[in-house]
């Protein structure tokens, strides 16, 4: 990305990421959920955060609606604005992960290129988790009433209905949230995190 400022100098941290991991007792990472609206991102993010917190982990959820009201309040839902939204979130997630947290991000993030950008911002410890649920199932659940609004013509760029969703080609994990229960999905996630964020020798 083009950087406007000149004469910028990065600070050199004396605390290494491995030192942060050792203190926390686990690696830091970004657990990046992607999936349609109503596929279960917020539900599973909040449940996973609680479960990991109870296990003593450093964990924090970045949620779509929160980010859009603040850091990304100037952005809408055009392809360009969605890209910029995910770019900013990727950078925020990378910073949180640098600080030692397990970051759970819950954004539709419909475009492959944007998810790849977030992965690049974060580096090795980026885990793309595809929450796979058919649009028909999501539309039936419709906890935010978005699919109903789209049917009435009140929203014209709903992902999976009138805006594209690019299914991940090689996600790190896929969970069939269309057929599994919340608890079953959560168990798969907790197991995944425990295996992938353990320090070697644990
Ligand atoms: P999103 O954040 O992806 O828009 P939400 O978490 O807000 O989705 O809504 C998902 C809805 O689907 C909730 O009402 C939740 O109870 C329900 N649900 C049913 N099965 C699952 C599952 N396996 N995982 C997550 N949510 C599920």
For each of the domains in the chain, give its residue range(s) and CATH number, in order of start: 24-196 (3.40.50.300)
pLDDT at 82: 85
Q: How confident is residue 201, by pLDDT bands cut at 50, 70 and 90?
A: low
Give catalytic status of residue 5 as yes or no. Answer: no
pTM for the complete prediction? 0.93
List all residues 6 or more positions away from 97 whose beta carbon is below 8 Å from its beta carbon.
28, 29, 30, 103, 122, 125
Q: How far is the CA of 185 from the centre of ligand 1 (A)?
A: 10
Q: How confident is residue 1, by pLDDT bands cut at 50, 70 and 90?
A: low
Indicate the average pLDDT of the chain. Answer: 93
**Average pLDDT, integer, range 142-157:** 94
> Does the annotation list 35 as a binding residue?
yes
Spatial separation of the C-alpha atoms in residues 83 and 181, rounded to whole Å: 31
Q: How confident is residue 12, by pLDDT bands cut at 50, 70 and 90?
A: confident
**Average pLDDT, integer, range 163-184:** 97
List all residues 6 or more positions away from 54 whose beta carbon is below 8 Å from its beta carbon.
none
**Average pLDDT, integer, range 175-199:** 97
Q: Are strands 102-106 and 59-63 parallel, antiparallel or unpaired?
A: parallel
**What are the distances in angstroms from CA 84 to CA 59, 70, 91, 165, 189?**
25, 14, 11, 17, 28
């Amino acid at each position: 990305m083009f950087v406007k400022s000149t004469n910028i100098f990065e600070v050199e941290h004396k605390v290494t990421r491995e030192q942060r991991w050792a203190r926390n007792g686990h690696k830091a990472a970004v657990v990046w959920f992607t999936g349609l609206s109503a596929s279960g991102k917020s539900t599973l993010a909040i449940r996973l955060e609680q479960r990991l917190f109870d296990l003593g982990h450093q964990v924090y959820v970045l949620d779509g609606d929160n980010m859009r009201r603040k850091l990304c309040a100037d952005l809408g839902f055009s392809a360009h604005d969605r890209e910029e939204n995910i770019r900013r979130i990727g950078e925020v997630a990378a910073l949180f992960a640098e600080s030692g947290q397990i970051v759970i991000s819950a954004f539709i993030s419909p475009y492959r290129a944007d998810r790849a950008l977030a992965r690049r911002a974060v580096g090795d410890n980026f885990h793309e988790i595809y929450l796979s649920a058919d649009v028909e199932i999501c539309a039936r659940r419709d906890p935010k009433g978005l699919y109903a609004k789209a049917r009435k013509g009140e929203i014209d760029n709903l992902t999976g209905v009138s805006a594209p969703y690019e299914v991940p080609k090689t996600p790190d994990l896929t969970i069939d949230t269309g057929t599994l229960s919340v608890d079953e999905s959560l168990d798969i996630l907790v197991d995944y995190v425990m295996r992938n964020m353990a320090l070697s020798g644990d």
